[in-house]
Amino acid sequence: MPRGTIRVAPASPFFVLLEIRDLHYAWPGAAGDCLAIERLDIAAGRAVFVHGPSGCGKSTLLGLMAGVLVARRGRVSLLGHDWAELRGGARDAFRADHVGYIFQQFNLLPYVSVLDNVLLPCRFSAARARRCSEGPVAAAQALLARVALPPALWPRRADALSVGQQQRVAAARALIGRPELVIADEPTSALDAALRDDFMALLLGEAQAGGSTLVFVSHDDRLAARFDERLSLPALNRAPTTP
Amino acid sequence: MKALLAIAARSAWNRRGTLALVMLSIALATALLLSLERLRSDIRSSFAQSVSGTDLIVGARTGPVQLMLYAVFHVGGATHGIRMDSVRAVAAHPAVAWTVPIALGDSHRGYPVLGTTTDYFARFAYGDRQPLALAQGRAFAGTLDGLYETVLGAEVADRLGYRVGQQLSLSHGLAAGPDEGHADHADHDDHADHADKPFTVVGVLARTGTPVDRTVHVSLQAIEAIHLDWAGGAPLPGVRIAPEHARKFELEPDQVTAVLVGLRNRVAVFNVQRFVAEYEAEPLLAVLPGVALDELWAVVGPGERALLAVSGLVALVSLSSLVAVVLAGLNERRRELAVLRAVGAGPRHVLALLAAEGALVTLLGALTGAAAAAVAVVAAGPWVQQRFGITLQSTTPSVEQWALFGVVLLAGMLASLVPGWRAYRLSLADGLTPRI
């Protein structure tokens, strides 16, 4: 696999990490676009809150940012590379190297241990493994300790954990190997208020410590205050509203 | 890719119950397919090897298949015999090495009685030129003293529980088939037509898997002796010739049913065949056993193909169960596949993951099935031999078996591409948020 073949300029504070221009996206089979964004820049090292009600295309936007979905028209580029210009395998390798992803829930492979779940990105990306200066396993353990998961749980199967614990493991997995971009898709919606605040503090702190840019999507406005930047997806989206 | 394989293994282990069931069903199908194929080829070969080393079979002019049926399989009756002077004329042909005359027409509790000479035990061969061997006792003497001696085929002795030294009586004509389940042969023998001249078992042949196993062997002279007081297929009223007195009569037969002929050199086989066909004193027919056996097999062939078709259907059903199980499990795995995609696995990895799993399950299933078939052949071999007289060979797999194994494997791998392809489509359509 042609990993590490794509050269990336080092991130500087004023470097535009993610650039969206004239984006149009429609789900296969859909008549009209569900997303149309003229322009969006996300600077490196920022924590960005994207707000929008359910069904406004938040997950679709994140899929486009992560290169899992590819725009029909326009460009979405990460670190200066247009996802659409990368071919199949190269796109997956690029995502493995530079993007960490946290889902709303069910982030983990249930049949794999907690530690192995955190190590997953390092298995798919040599670059992420290399960026763990103390080695992937030590890095994973350090991250698990920082997200306050007791070592007794590390060798357990991931499905033995509570939802709150699982989300913290998911955060550790997204952060391992310091990817340039960490995407979080409503990661707190399954957590209660106390757990949610803990989780937010953890995620923001660790993303900043690792130098990762965080794009956080939620319908919950109350979280917005913690972020450097706040965006409203309905305001950005020029596509005619679909039911 | 290595990372993915490790994950695939863990994932498969997590669903081991279901996968084991699929594997089992593939194993059963493979085992069935392979053992049916083994059975089929062994039935065919034990059929084709019912007689070997005999170059020609000569009898009264009739159809070649009919001549084979009664001369080798002892089924049905000959409408005409062949005169002994014709037999001597054939034996006198310079290319002929030996002749063994055989006389049929009587039976013992449904098993055919074959009258022949002591040469039969030396000349008759089956399989790959294997001679007959005695499991117990000796061949009949062929002398006047040993007139009422008989040598039994292995199945006759087994089924009826005869051992060397026991006595039995023959019946006139061929009964419908071997009767079974009577422990009281003494009582039964009272009804035998030739009960006045009982025979002593002097030998039992080793099992051959050929019609020899179902045959009672006596001398030609004995056949004459038991029919001395008979005429036209019925006892002569008022005439009784005691067994000892029979020895004083001329016991050389005038005619026999057929003659097995061995040649000095096989090249002469068509010369001798023509000589027999053009023999003027009597209309005769000479058949090459191999050719006639092939003709006979062509009649039985469709049954053989039906066996293969049934096992093919079984294999098809279990492969579709593989596809069904993996497809049914796919919905539950969409979340798992999305997680893998988020950490850098591509849709092609997903396809590879599912196809590899299916291929591995098929391979394990097929191997288990092949092993089970081999074990079954070894374990059930003696029973099948005893019950059906078919010798199952536990040798290395035949070309056909390898081919079948390959077909199962290939079909399994192709079948596992179906769910793999679906997973590929789903992971493209789902993005990272499966719509379950």
Write down the domain spans for chain A: 16-236
For residue B247, the 8-state DSSP code is: T
Instruction: Name the average pLDDT for chain B.
Output: 82
A88 vs B433: CB contact, 8 Å cut-off? no
Starting at the earlier edge strand, list the strands of the sheet with A16-25: A35-43, A16-25, A73-78, A81-82
Q: Which residues are CB-contacts of B235 (< 8 A; sequence separation ≥ 6)? A: B193, B229
A101 vs B342: CB contact, 8 Å cut-off? yes
Nearest to A68 among B6, B11, B432 (CB): B432
Burial (CB count within 10 angstroms: exposed 0-12, middle 13-18, buried 19+), residue A162: exposed
Q: Which residues are CB-contacts of B207 (< 8 A; sequence separation ≥ 6)? A: B135, B154, B155, B213, B385, B389
Q: Which of A118, A185, A214 is nearest to A158 (CA)?
A: A118
**With contacts defined as CB-CB under 8 Å, which chain B residues touch A34?**
none
A101 vs B13: CB contact, 8 Å cut-off? no
Burial (CB count within 10 angstroms: exposed 0-12, middle 13-18, buried 19+), residue B17: exposed
Q: Is B70 among the domain residues? A: yes
**With contacts defined as CB-CB under 8 Å, which chain A residues touch B346?**
88-89, 91-92
Q: For residue B185, is pLDDT > 50?
A: no
Tokens of B146: 């040993």
Rounded to whole angstroms, the Cα distance separating B210 from B390 reads 8
Q: For residue B384, is pLDDT > 80?
A: no
Burial (CB count within 10 angstroms: exposed 0-12, middle 13-18, buried 19+), residue A56: buried
Torsions phi, psi of B261, nearest 5? Answer: -120, 130
A92 vs B346: CB contact, 8 Å cut-off? yes
Q: Which residues are CB-contacts of B374 (< 8 A; sequence separation ≥ 6)? A: B394
Q: Is B323 among the domain residues? A: yes
How far does B435 lie from chain A, in Å, by closest CA?
Answer: 12
Q: Rounded to a whole number, what is the distance in angstroms from the first to the last CA of chain A?
A: 41
A59 vs B336: CB contact, 8 Å cut-off? no
Q: Which of A138, A153, A133, A105 is nearest to A210 (CA)?
A: A133
In A98-137 the beta strands, taken as DSSP E runs, fall at 99-102
Q: Are residues B144 and B264 in the same domain?
A: yes
Q: Are residues B283 and B312 in the same domain?
A: no
Q: Is B206 among the domain residues? A: yes
B3 vs A123: CB contact, 8 Å cut-off? yes
Tokens of A132: 């763990």
Rounded to whole angstroms, the Cα distance separating A97 from A179 reads 7
Give the position of tokens 């080092």: A10
Query: DSSP labels for A176-202?
Result: TT--SEEEEESTTTTS-HHHHHHHHHH
Give residue B395's pLDDT.
67
Tokens of A149: 């998961």
For residue B213, the 8-state DSSP code is: G
Mean pLDDT confidence for B332-337: 79
In B224-295 the beta strands, taken as DSSP E runs, fall at 230-231, 234-235, 255-256, 258-263, 284-287
CB B83 within 8 A of CB B259: no
A106 vs B339: CB contact, 8 Å cut-off? yes
Residue of B nearest to A90 (CA): B346
What is the β-pairing status of strands B284-287 and B56-60? Answer: antiparallel
Give residue A7's pLDDT.
52
Q: Determine the residue among B11, B343, B348, B428 to mutate to test chain A binding: the one whose Cβ has the most chain A Cβ atoms within 10 Å.
A: B343
Cα-to-chain-centroid distance, residue A76: 15
Per-residue tens of pLDDT for chain A, all 243 residues: 444 445 555 555 568 888 888 888 887 777 777 888 888 888 888 889 988 887 778 888 888 888 888 887 888 888 888 888 888 778 888 888 888 988 887 788 888 889 989 988 888 888 888 888 888 889 899 889 888 888 998 899 888 888 888 888 998 999 898 888 999 888 888 788 888 888 888 889 888 888 889 999 888 888 888 888 888 888 877 777 554
Rounded to whole angstroms, the Cα distance separating B173 from B110 reads 9
Where among B287, B319, B345 does a domain terminate? B287
Give residue B219's pLDDT.
92
Q: Are residues B307 and B283 in the same domain?
A: no
How far does A209 lie from chain B, in Å, by closest CA?
Answer: 21
Rounded to whole angstroms, the Cα distance separating A119 from A116 reads 5
Residue A68 identity (one-letter amino acid): V
Q: Are residues B175 and B102 in the same domain?
A: yes
B7 vs A124: CB contact, 8 Å cut-off? no
**With contacts defined as CB-CB under 8 Å, which chain B residues touch A169?**
none
Q: Are residues B332 and B238 in the same domain?
A: no
Rounded to whole angstroms, the Cα distance separating B57 from B77 reads 15
Where among B252, B287, B322 does a domain terminate? B287
Q: Is B436 among the domain residues? A: no
State the greatest distance between any 2 C-alpha atoms of chain A, in Å, as a whole number: 52
CB B208 within 8 A of CB B72: no
Rounded to whole angstroms, the Cα distance separating A33 from A57 reads 10
Cα-to-chain-centroid distance, residue B185: 29
A103 vs B1: CB contact, 8 Å cut-off? no
Q: Are residues B146 and B231 in the same domain?
A: yes
Q: Are residues B323 and B252 in the same domain?
A: no
Nearest to A121 among B336, B341, B343 (CB): B343
How far does B14 lie from chain A, in Å, by closest CA?
Answer: 6
Q: Which of B89, B102, B88 is nearest to B279 (CA)?
A: B89
Residue B318: pLDDT band (50, 70, 90) is confident
Rounded to whole angstroms, the Cα distance separating A98 from A169 reads 19
B345 vs A69: CB contact, 8 Å cut-off? no
Q: Are residues B309 and B274 in the same domain?
A: no
Residue B297: pLDDT band (50, 70, 90) is confident
Nearest to B344 among A69, A95, A111 (CB): A95
Q: Are residues B217 and B122 in the same domain?
A: yes
Q: Are residues B17 and B110 in the same domain?
A: no
Angle, CA A176 vertex, CA A170 and CA A182 arms, to 5°:
65
Q: Is B293 among the domain residues? A: no
Q: Is B308 among the domain residues? A: yes
How far does B42 lie from chain A, in Å, by closest CA?
Answer: 48
- Count of domains forming chain B: 2
pLDDT digits (tens, 9 = 90+) for B389-436: 666 766 677 787 788 888 888 888 888 788 888 877 777 667 667 665
Q: Determine the residue among A120, A122, A157 to mutate to test chain B binding: the one whose Cβ has the most chain B Cβ atoms within 10 Å.
A: A120
**With contacts defined as CB-CB under 8 Å, which chain B residues touch A95?**
344
B348 vs A185: CB contact, 8 Å cut-off? no
Q: Is B296 among the domain residues? A: no
CATH domain A16-236 topology: Rossmann fold (3.40.50)
Q: Rounded to a whole number, what is the distance in angstroms from the first to the last CA of chain B?
A: 27
Domain region containing B231: 56-287
Residue B202: pLDDT band (50, 70, 90) is very high
Q: Are residues B148 and B259 in the same domain?
A: yes
What is the β-pairing status of strands B111-116 and B96-108? Answer: antiparallel
Tokens of B136: 């117990």
Q: Determine the residue among A72, A92, A180 to mutate to test chain B binding: the one whose Cβ has the most chain B Cβ atoms within 10 Å.
A: A92
Most confident of A60-69, B111-120, B336-345: B111-120
Distances in whole angstroms, Cα of residue A213 to Cα of each of B61, B67, B186, B196: 100, 94, 102, 111
Q: Are residues B91 and B163 in the same domain?
A: yes
**Dihedral class, residue A71 (left if φ above 0, else alpha if ψ from -120 to 50, else beta):** beta
With a cut of 0.85, is the ipTM above it? no
Rounded to whole angstroms, the Cα distance separating B215 from B226 reads 18
